[in-house]
Structure 1
Amino acid sequence: MTKFFCKDRLSGERAEVDTLEEALTIGEEWLADHRNEAQHDGEWLNDVEDLTVGLVADSGDEEDDIVTHRATFVGTDEEGFDCTILPVPVAVAAPEAPQCK
């Protein structure tokens, strides 16, 4: 059965759940805690972007987990910044180029 994780390296927390939706909900809760802390001094901690969500590896080794979502800063200097959990872009192999002769 596929399991999903949410990991927050900043706080040292990790949760494993049955659905992606549950993992994302946990991530949003942890991100809200970081947001509240950021409001105290007006600055986000840099390691907030280490909050990740994804698939638990079949090997059971956390190093093999597949990250599908990551906390990402959005905004501008003028409007200010927030952090949200967004999908990680998937690498796609380029089509093979024709060979030159």
Structure 2
Amino acid sequence: MTPYKGTNYYRLKQVDYDGTMTSFGIKSAYVTVDQIEVYPTMMQDLIRIEMPKTDRPMQWSISNSLGQRSLKGILAPGEVKDAVSVQQLTPGTYFLSLKTQYGQEVFKLIKL
């Protein structure tokens, strides 16, 4: 079972070989984003970008299949989630490029 991002709650119970049961009550664990996530890839009005917390700004741009830049922006340091409006884009295939401190990541998007 994969945990969700954010706070997850677990009820822990231990059963020994002799059948003795020990309950540890409810415990919580906070799960963070460990990689960049972009969704939905079949976009209509907006896309969401989630990433690990960083201390540097991250540049992003959306280009069409001909390489023409349609949108661009900067995510501020410390931001871990952003929503980008794509209403003005015409239907077709686009590429979201994110420039991070480690290099560049590209995600394919389709505007419906």
With normalisation by structure 1, the TM-score equals 0.34
Between structures 1 and 2, the one with greater strand share: 2
Higher percent of residues as helix? 1
TM-score using structure 2 length: 0.31
Higher radius of gyration, 1 or 2: 2
